[in-house]
Structure formats: structure tokens, C-alpha cells
Amino acid sequence: MKSVDIQFDHLSIGAIPRVVGVVTDLASVEALAIAPVPTWDVIEMRLDLIGPDTAWTVAVDTLQRAGFPVLATLRLAAEGGNWTAADAAREPILMAALQRCAAVDIEQRSPLLPQIIEAARALDKPLVISYHDFDATPPVDDLREIVRNGAVYERGIVKLASHINSTTDIQRLEALLTDSPIPHPLCVIGMGEMGQATRIRFPQLGSCLAYGHLDASTAPGQLSCHTLHTALHAAS
């Protein structure tokens, strides 16, 4: 099923895989904003690691003035993040991020999803609607259902990341990309040591976003932006 492209500010997400550079420390922002040869297309600001009470809004403005769309993520601990307070307490922070950033990530299983979709629609902003399994890769039918459940917003990118324990797991995720059950852009990631190769392979098969670290790894098997950029450009 052919997907439609979604805009992160000026950047089209869909047909061409885009590298997302993950930032966990505001100390690196000024250098990133003036990087002569960026190895990323989008910056993900991990507010759960940076700290939502810090001067992240200034950093967002700095990066977006430099031409880099910012994706804000405030990841729940249950899905691999550092946010351990009540889910509902994230709402004002996520709403502020929607106002300022190019896009926001919200977990598919979060009760906040309907409110965040409503706010994003009112602001005409895209969302990354994410699902993470750090233990295993579900069966194909379950994966397809997860993806369909994530396709609830017309300007949403569905992100699914699961742990790879076998070559069968890789084949299951590849099947999603070669025959996607939705018309939305789809990001599929294999986590863990066995999943490292999929972080390059899956964007070549149609996964719309490839996440790489800029200062510290935030997921098992995550590669650096430099590695991703070099590999994807060599293959293009």
C-alpha cells in the first residue's frame, strides 16, 4: 500500500528515509545548529532525558532557525523512557511542545493519545504515534493490528520498534514494510544486537525514519547518526 508523505515543517517524510538525530543533552545543541555537514534531517529532543523543566524551548528555537525540524519526545518509562511520573502529568508539556516543535511523539497505548491528536489537528501538526516492545517481536498478525491501531490520525507517522531475538523476527518486520496495512508513513525498527543491521536495512525497504544517536544511545542497538547517514547514502 503506497503511503502519503507528511511534512515536518519544510521536510517531507515518507518516500525518502530521513535520519533522526537523537539529543539527550542540551549542551550539544549550539554545535549541532552550526554543523557544516549535518548527518541528520530531523532532531529528536528527548525531553524525558533532557528534563522538561530546562531551557528546551530555547534549544528548539535555535535548531529550527538553523533549518532542522524538531521532534519532541517525552517517553514513558513503560516504553523505555525516563518519565516515571503519572502519564497525565505529561499533558501540559506535550501541548507546549506541539505549539513550538515541528512534531511530537506520543505512545499508541497512552491514554493521552486522543487529547494530543485533537490538539495536533487544531494546530495542523504531525505526530509520531509509537509502540515499543523491548522483549520480543509479536507475531505478524499482531504486528499488523498494532500498526492499524496506530493509524488513527491523518497526519500521523506510525512507529513500531521491537526487540529482535531471531531471524524470524526480522522477517516479520520486513513483511510489514513490503506489504504495509496502512497508507500512512511507517517507521519500523529492530532493537537489540541482532536488530542493528535492520536499522540500515529497513529504511532501504521503506521505513520512513532511521533513528541515530548524537550524544548518547537511547535504545538497544541504536547506531550513531554518522553511521546511519554514511550507510544510507552509500546505498542510494
88-147 pLDDT, tens digit each: 999 999 999 999 999 999 999 999 999 999 999 999 999 999 999 999 999 999 999 999
Instruction: Give the C-alpha separation, 214 to 201, whole Å.
Output: 20
Rounded to the nearest 10°, the torsion over CA 8, 126, 93, 215 is: -40
- Domain 6-235 - what CATH class? alpha beta
Asked whether the predicted pLDDT for residue 4 surpasses 80, the reply is no
- Point out the catalytic residue in the list 132, 163, 184, 229: 132
Query: Is 132 designated active site?
Result: yes
Say what the pTM is: 0.95
Query: Is 10 designated active site?
Result: no
pLDDT recorded at residue 52: 85
Residue 217 buriedness (CB in 10 A; 0-12 / 13-18 / 19+):
middle
Between β-strands 103-107 and 70-73, what pairing exists: parallel, antiparallel or unpaired?
parallel
Q: Calculate the alpha carbon distances from 205 to 13, 103, 108, 173, 191 in Å.
A: 15, 24, 23, 11, 17
Lowest model confidence (mean pLDDT) among 69-73, 151-155, 230-234: 230-234
pLDDT band for 216, please (50, 70, 90 cuts): confident
Asked whether the predicted pLDDT for residue 1 surpasses 80, the reply is no
- Point out the catalytic residue in the list 159, 184, 213, 229: 159
Instruction: Give the C-alpha separation, 131 to 110, whole Å.
Output: 10
